[in-house]
Amino acid sequence: MKGRLLKQEKLAKYTSWRVGGPADQLYIPENRQDLVEFIKTLPAFEPVFWMGLGSNLLVRDGGIRGTVINTKGRLKEMHLLENKAVYVEVGVPCAHVARFCGEHGLTGAEFLAGIPGTMGGALKMNAGAFDGETWAIVNSVEMLNTSGMVTSRKPEEFQVSYRSVKGFDNEWFLSCQLSLQPGDTRTSQQKIKGLLERRGATQPTNQPSCGSVFKNPDGDYAARLIEKTGLKGYAIGGACVSEKHANFIVNTGNATAGEIEALIYYVQKQVEKQQGIILHTEVCMVGDAL
């Protein structure tokens, strides 16, 4: 294998919240083919978990059993196809995809600039921002299974809904093709600039967070409900509900994953008690608690 295999690697430095215990082993592939070959070497029932930029993710303090694949800075191929579709591997940051499409005169992907993760994570959860959703622009995806086989699938083979994608067991996203419309580069760049300015003005981008913690309930906003409940600034240990955006929990410097999770559950209980609405988490919580 050409990649790096690390044993008992602490995952805190790989997550945007800067928390998380160790993985039994962490593999950082050299490229796509190296990853395929590595997957072939794993035992048939080895638990495998994929990480990109580590956003929208809470790794508990006890860490993750099995193998973690980290694609940050890897699987970053992106290019135009003959039919003007855009080929994107799962390690490419969403913001890079937005800029690339705009630079090549394609419109419809600008919203990706507001998603602080990779294309792989966006595909897994149908990530969205500023009224756009990932799977609305997906034409096809490549999947890698536990045997190292690569297959192409169409969107209609998945159950896609708000922040949810249900597909096939023991398969992972490897790449996708995006279908976009012809547009104007300058217009796209101005739109991206405006979206990023809006994000910076309304979200705590200068503090460690996972992005939005809770899904918006039908016809309402999680942030509004949390703020109405009086929880802005409420803290458990080093975990704090952001004063800037109530649907963000920030690590003020020394939070543990356990404190963040405790705060998530506290917010859920208080909002249900005072507003009568159950908030469901958008963030993926994985691993073992201490």
Q: Which of 163, 179, 224, 227 is catalytic?
A: 163
Q: How do the pLDDT tens digits run along the chain, 290 residues long?
A: 799 999 999 999 999 999 999 999 999 999 999 999 999 999 988 999 999 999 999 999 999 999 999 999 999 999 999 888 999 999 999 999 999 999 999 999 999 998 989 999 999 999 988 889 999 999 999 999 999 999 999 999 999 999 999 999 889 999 999 999 999 999 999 999 999 998 999 999 999 999 999 999 999 999 999 999 999 999 999 999 999 999 999 999 999 999 999 999 999 999 999 999 999 999 999 999 98
Six token digits for residue 13:
């430095």
Active site residue 153: no
One-letter identity of residue 120: G
pLDDT at 224: 98
Do residues 49 and 162 both lie within one domain?
no
For residue 282, indicate whether it is catalytic: yes
Vertex 111 angle, CA 60 and 134, to 5°: 65
- Say which CATH number the domain at 87 has: 3.30.465.10
In this structure, the answer to whether residues 122 and 149 fall within a common structural domain is: yes
CATH number for 271: 3.90.78.10
CB 11 within 8 A of CB 64: yes
Do 55 and 82 share a structural domain? no
Do 38 and 153 fall within a single domain?
no
Residue 154 lies in a domain: yes
Asked if the structure places residue 194 within a domain, the reply is yes
Q: Does 128 reside within a domain?
A: yes
What CATH number is given to the structural domain containing 26? Answer: 3.30.43.10
Residue 112 inside a domain? The answer is yes
**Are 60 and 175 found together in one domain?**
no
Does residue 208 lie within any of the structural domains? no
Choosing from 99, 212, 242, 259, which is the catalytic residue?
Answer: 212
The boundaries of the domain holding residue 233 are 222-286
CA distance 213 to 37: 35
66 and 86, same domain (yes or no): no
193 assigned to some structural domain: yes
pLDDT of 21 reads 98
- 209 assigned to some structural domain: no
Global confidence as pTM: 0.92
Residue 26: name the closest of 71, 78, 75, 87 by CA: 71
241 in Cβ contact with 235 (< 8 Å):
yes
CA distance 149 to 141: 14
Q: Specify if 105 maps to a domain.
A: yes
Q: Is 133 a catalytic residue?
A: no
Question: What confidence score (pLDDT) does residue 130 get?
Answer: 84
How far is residue 231's CA from residue 228's CA, in Å, rounded to a whole number? 8
Largest CA distance in the chain: 55
Q: Identify whether residues 228 and 271 lie together within a single domain.
A: yes
